[in-house]
Amino acid sequence: MNLITKIALGIVLAFMIMATAAAYIKYQTTQEINEAIRKQDILEQERVNRELEAELQLQERQRLLAIKEKQEKAALLLKEARRLAIKKKQDWQNWYNKKNPKDCNDLQSDRHMVECINTKMELKSEFELVWNSQIQSAKK
């Protein structure tokens, strides 16, 4: 083989090596870019997941706080209802003791007992009217 052919073959071989090297570099670069994009996507997904988890935790805290507030309000309402029931019972006893005919403490006959029961029922109705009007006026 003559020198020109050898030089031409060397040049062709050099171009082939350069083309192969360029293709390999392009392939490696593409692989690295794809890996970087994949890692970036993973990081973005993790960030989104953290934000979503934080939002869910906030919603759960708000839900639990609302439940706690409702329970506290219910407990206060129950306490107030109990207080009012005790007060109503005491007020009724006081009302009845003031207006109760003294002879009803010692029943003489069945007829006397019926009269005393009727009196007590009338006093109870009267008390309920007064009590409910006081409660209504207190609410306003």
- Which residue range is the domain that position 54 belongs to? 1-85
Does residue 64 share a domain with residue 39? yes
Does residue 111 share a domain with residue 70? no
Query: Residue 108 falls within a domain, yes or no?
Result: yes
Does residue 25 share a domain with residue 77? yes
Query: Of the ranges 49-53, 75-79, 114-118, which one carries the lowest mean pLDDT score?
Result: 114-118
For residue 82, what pLDDT is reported? 95
Looking at the predicted structure, is the pLDDT value of residue 102 above 80? no
For residue 23, what pLDDT is reported? 92
For residue 46, what pLDDT is reported? 96
Query: Residue 10 falls within a domain, yes or no?
Result: yes
Residues 40-47 have a mean pLDDT of: 96
Query: Residue 16 falls within a domain, yes or no?
Result: yes
For residue 107, what pLDDT is reported? 80
Mean of all residue pLDDT scores within the chain: 91
Does residue 27 share a domain with residue 64? yes
Query: Residue 125 falls within a domain, yes or no?
Result: yes
Domain end among 40, 58, 85: 85
Measured between alpha carbons, how far is residue 32 from residues 1, 11, 114 in Å?
44, 31, 103
Q: Total domain count for the chain?
A: 2
Rg of the chain (C-alpha set): 47
Greater confidence (98 vs 50) lies with 50
**Which pTM does this prediction carry?**
0.56
Residues 80-98 have a mean pLDDT of: 91
In 27-49, which positions are buried (b, 16+ CB within 10 angstroms) versus exposed (e)? eeeeeeeeeeeeeeeeeeeeeee
